[in-house]
Amino acid sequence: MEIKLTAASTLEAGTTWSLPEVRNITQSRVVQHVFFWVVYVVFFGLLYGSYIDDYYNAFMVELVELPFKIGLVYFNMYYLMPRYLLQKRYLEFFFYLLLLMALITALMQFVLLPFLIHPMFCPTTCTEDNLTFYRFVKNGVNISYVVAITAVIALLKNWYSHQQAARDLTQDKLEAELKVLKGQIHPHFLFNTLNSLYSLTLKKSDNAPEVVLKLSSLMDYMLYAANAATVPLEKELEYIRNYISLERIRYGERVDVCFTETGSITGRQVAPMMLLPFVENAFKHGVSTETGNAWIRIDVKVQENKLVLLVENCKCGERASHSTRDMASGIGLKNLRRRLELLYEGCYTLETEDEPDSYAARLELDLGEE
């Protein structure tokens, strides 16, 4: 019983590990090239065999001529095309290619045909007509088929490789730019929070330990969760709530913050730290430390596959008013728009409204299917 079980397990394991090997074999360049030439010989052997009604002679002729065609094809693909055609030296390329084809055709017609092919495979069909210029041109045209087919394949492969390299380069640039843009958010936020903590410690406030705890949670989010391409929407909103709590501790009674959420956020994904800059700028540019009665309204709605974020703030005092206008036309909004273009191209709308006493930003994101 035990021996049979082991044998069955071994057979099952063997089947499993052999599948990747089969896949690797089919992806091998050597196998692909051999497969191409087999298909070529079979196709043209059947084609010419049906024409002369002699499949054996047709296949034997194709096999005898095959080494010459293979040499011509690979010399063209790996020497002439990279050296001349891809360097846009077209006249030189076609001159050398036609010259080489003429030499191969002459070798096949005046050496291979009368001294090997006809004596061995079709001695009764060898006539002087097979050595005429017309026959020479016809043989050259026949050779040009395989040269043209392989050249097109090589050009398509070269084009695809360049397209793939261009896409990879573009993706690398986008990722690098996103890291820079995201990096501009982290130090800014950390600097503001540390300033708040410093102010509380100077006052020996009882809120300092709570600030440290919330700051620790926010730092954990920034350093780890925010490195992902997307995060759950509830985590992003929890991050915003913690940020608002810190700012409430900082400003106390001087600011009235209203934060509302509507709609189902479960299962939704969003780019990390995409919503926070709107809230951060509302505090930074809409609340002055010298004046009271400031207000901020933050409304988050999820409607079907749309996320709508509306952030409004008052302009309290001349300094806050000026800084809000700076944000509307400066680096802050440019940073946000650039991140949105990179991450949500064609899937977002961002509108701002700059009034004498208030500033509002409305973001609508397409979250995709749940």
Question: In DSSP terms, which residues pair with 349 in a beta bridge?
Answer: 364
Cα separation, 132 vs 106, whole angstroms? 11
Residue owning tokens 């004498």: 356
Taking alpha carbons only, the member of 259, 268, 347 closest to residue 295 is 259
Q: Give pLDDT, residue 184.
A: 52
Alpha carbon distance 61, 147 (integer Å): 18
Residue 362: exposed, middle, or buried by beta-carbon count in 10 A (0-12, 13-18, 19+)? middle
Angle CA 265–267–273, to nearest 5: 70
**CATH architecture for the domain at 254-366:** 2-Layer Sandwich (3.30)
State the sign of the Cα–Cα–Cα–Cα dihedral 140, 142, 144, 146. negative
Judge whether 366 and 306 are in contact, CB under 8 Å: yes
E-assigned strand segments in the chain: 231-232, 255-262, 269-270, 294-303, 306-314, 348-354, 358-366
**98: amino acid identity, one letter:** L
Q: What pTM value is reported for the model?
A: 0.52
Q: Which of 232, 313, 324, 224 is closest to 274 using CA atoms?
A: 232
Instruction: List the chain pLDDT tens, one digit each, 370 residues.
Output: 443 444 333 334 444 434 455 455 456 788 888 998 999 889 888 887 887 777 877 788 788 888 889 999 999 999 999 999 988 899 999 999 999 999 988 887 777 777 777 667 666 555 555 667 777 787 788 888 889 999 999 999 888 888 887 777 666 666 665 565 555 555 656 676 677 677 777 777 777 777 777 777 777 777 666 677 788 898 889 888 888 887 887 777 788 899 999 988 888 888 887 888 888 888 877 776 555 678 999 999 998 889 999 999 888 655 444 444 444 444 467 777 877 887 888 889 999 898 888 889 999 998 876 6
The DSSP output letter for 83 is: I
269: left (phi over 0), alpha (psi -120 to 50) or beta: beta
Taking the C-alpha atoms of residue 148 and residue 144, their distance in angstroms, rounded to an integer, is: 6
Sign of CA dihedral 321, 322, 328, 333: negative
pLDDT digits (tens, 9 = 90+) for 70-101: 999 999 999 999 999 988 899 999 999 999 99
What own/partner pairs with CB < 8 Å and gap ≥ 24 does 18-24 have? none
Q: For residue 193, which of 160, 170, 173, 219 has the smallest C-alpha distance?
A: 219
**Rounded to the nearest 5°, which phi and psi values hold at 24?**
-65, -35
> Phi/psi at 350 (nearest 5 deg)?
-130, 120
Token pair 């089947």 in the structure block, residue: 15
Residue with tokens 């030439």: 37
> Where, residue-wise, is CATH 3.30.565.10 in the chain?
254-366
Angle in degrees, CA 337, 340, 345, rounded to 5: 120
Question: What is the rounded distance in angstroms from the CA atom of residue 36 to the CA atom of residue 29?
Answer: 11
Among 175, 370, 360, smallest CA distance to 278 is for 360
| CB-based contact 307:272 (threshold 8 Å) | no
Of 312, 325, 296, residue with least CA distance to 363: 312
Q: What is the C-alpha separation between 76 and 229, in angstroms, rounded?
A: 45
